[in-house]
Amino acid sequence: MAFESLSDRLQGAFKKLKGKGVLTEADINDAMREVKLALLEADVNFKVVKEFVNDVKEKCMGAEVLESLTPAQQIIKIVNQELVELMGGTNSKLTYSSTGFTTIMMVGLQGTGKTTTCGKLANYLKQNGKKPMLCACDVYRPAAIDQLEIVGKSVDTPVFTMRDSKEPAKIAAAAKKDAERRGFDVLIVDTAGRLQIDEPLMEELADIKKEVKPHEILLVVDALTGQDAVNVAEGFSGKLGIDGIVMTKMDGDSRGGAALSVKKVTGKPIKFMGTGEKFDALEPFHPERMASRILGMGDMLTMIEKAEQNYDEEQAQKLEKKIKKNQFTLEDFLEQMGQVKKMGGLGKMLEMMPGMSAAQMKGVDLDEGEKEFRHMEAIIYSMTIEERQEPGLLNASRRKRIAAGAGLPVSAVNNLIKKYEETKKMLKQFSNPKAMKRNRMFRGLQ
């Protein structure tokens, strides 16, 4: 979970304040000391921490906070606002060419996940109505071209290659012409990386930049490297000029200092963050949503968006009719579980729930939750079509047969039927149009 230790420390500091009706200057100083230590432990740049804490402290000392009936809430509000500002204020979107054809150049050091991110970005663009092509310009790393072709195949996106050429700038130029000729509207150029920033690397990237004149240069950095990621971003920004940053491995970063420091240090926004290994695990970076997650207030907007990506109007209408007629079957139940999986599984959903702290997440066995999903699928697939559509038929002997077919105990079958009945009962509550309209999240999950 991203920002795990930072989130716990900050929430702990604010919890102490909530128990006090009136705050003194000493209370605020103590809280700011905790905030400072939390940020430093999260590997946030020292200068950034110092400025951040001073700004927050100055605002917290105002009469609006000290004389408020809920001073702790006022301080959390101020910290939230300052965190949002620190990370860029608002979501920075990709810049597309007004001519209709856009070139995006992906740069970064070796090992940051740049090639995989190219595939994730292509997948994201396709979901948003674009027609991308990938271009292989890493002519040095063994099998780099093969890797991009595998990535391209995985996201159903063509890859332009010139295996006999060792001139990346010429490859990129040829790819741009080919992509435009074939009717693609975005070219994603995968460039070579190095173990460190050096002159040959920068010269090569500058040549590609000069040749194709990209509308976006995105730097891919690994969040797990902490302040090294910020230093790399500063180096690329100064020598090449970048437009934005893609922060990978945000799902495994327990500190997150790079994400909090990079905008302040480089002036360049984080545009995307990688949240997993799958090709759909790339999210636009929203500072306000990330600040909300850090402070334990959840991220319901992202959760709703994920749900809506899998929302099918026709499917929802069919399900609504079934619920009204009390015809919600085990097949429908299985379909709903599939929607949860498409949203990233149980763990991703829990991370975005308000009040779900890292400490609470530790008490949830996510692997166990995913395993239970698989068991439920196995049980339903072991049933006949008639049994799936009419669960009332499932007497003791049938349940025993189904359990044997799934390789599970009868208690697992009983547990599934219980969950199905509970879900059916809950869905029934939302079966009228007014309730469906009120509960947007429910509509998204259908």
pLDDT digits (tens, 9 = 90+) for 46-96: 888 999 999 988 888 776 666 665 777 778 888 888 888 988 888 888 989
Q: What is the mean pLDDT of residues 164-177?
A: 93
Of 133-137, 249-253, 318-322, 396-400, the poorest mean pLDDT is in: 318-322
Q: What is the mean pLDDT of residues 375-391?
A: 90
**pLDDT attached to residue 315:** 61
Looking at domain 4-86, which CATH architecture does it have?
Up-down Bundle (1.20)
More confident residue, 433 or 272: 272
Which residues 6+ apart lie within 8 Å of 88 measured at CB? 263, 269, 270, 285, 287
pTM of the model: 0.69
Q: How many CB atoms lie within 10 A of CB 383?
A: 23
The answer to whether 344 and 306 are in contact (CB under 8 A) is yes
The domain defined by 102-297 carries CATH number 3.40.50.300: yes
Tell me the residue length of the chain.
446
Token pair in block for residue 376? 């439920």
Nearest to 249 by CA among 279, 271, 223, 269: 223
Q: What type of residue is 154?
A: S
The answer to whether 42 and 6 are in contact (CB under 8 A) is yes
Which of the 8 DSSP states describes residue 302? H
Cα(304)–Cα(323) distance, integer angstroms:
22
**pLDDT attached to residue 444:** 38
Of 29-33, 224-228, 239-243, 323-327, the poorest mean pLDDT is in: 323-327
332: pLDDT strictly greater than 90: no
C-alpha angle 413-414-417 in degrees, rounded to nearest 5: 90
**pLDDT attached to residue 121:** 96
Q: What is the mean pLDDT of residues 226-244?
A: 88
Query: In sequence order, what are the beta bridge partners of 220?
Result: 246
Average pLDDT along the chain: 81
101: pLDDT strictly greater than 90: yes
Chain centre distance of CA 391: 37
- Domain locations along the chain: 4-86, 102-297, 303-445
Token pair in block for residue 48? 């950034």
Which residues 6+ apart lie within 8 Å of 179 measured at CB? 101, 133, 135, 160, 187
169: pLDDT strictly greater than 60: yes
Q: How many CB atoms lie within 10 A of CB 314?
A: 7
What CATH number was assigned to the domain covering residues 303-445?
1.10.260.30
Dihedral, 306, 309, 310, 313 alpha carbons, nearest 10: 130
> Would you call 258 exposed, middle or buried from its count of C-beta atoms within 10 A (0-12, 13-18, 19+)?
buried
Q: How confident is the model at residue 431 (pLDDT cuts 50, 70, 90)?
A: low
